[in-house]
Amino acid sequence: MFTSPLNLAQALEKEGYLIDEETATTLFLSLALKKPCLIEGPAGVGKTQLALALARVVNRRLIRLQCYEGLDINKALYDWNYAKQLLRLQLAKTVEWNEIKDDLYSEEFILSRPLLESILSSEPVLLLIDELDKSDEEFESFLLELLAEFQVSIPELGTLSSKTKPIVILTSNNSRDFSDALRRRCIHIYLGYPSLEREISILASQAPELSEQLIQDVCGFVSRVRKLPLQKLPSVSETIDFARALNVLQKEELNYGELMGTLSVLLKYPKDIAKLEERLKKWESEKRSK
> Is residue 102 scored above 90 in pLDDT?
no
Q: In this predicted structure, what is the pLDDT of residue 156?
A: 80
Does the domain spanning 5-75+115-190 belong to CATH 3.40.50.300?
yes
Q: In this predicted structure, what is the pLDDT of residue 290?
A: 63
| Mean pLDDT score of the chain | 91
pTM: 0.87
Q: State mean pLDDT over 92-109.
A: 65
- CA 153 from chain center: how many Å? 26
The tens digit of pLDDT for each residue in 112-143 reads: 899 999 999 999 999 999 999 999 999 999 99
Q: In this predicted structure, what is the pLDDT of residue 84?
A: 73
Q: State mean pLDDT over 44-58.
A: 96
**Residue among 210, 239, 213 at smallest CA distance from 224:** 239
Q: In this predicted structure, what is the pLDDT of residue 74?
A: 87
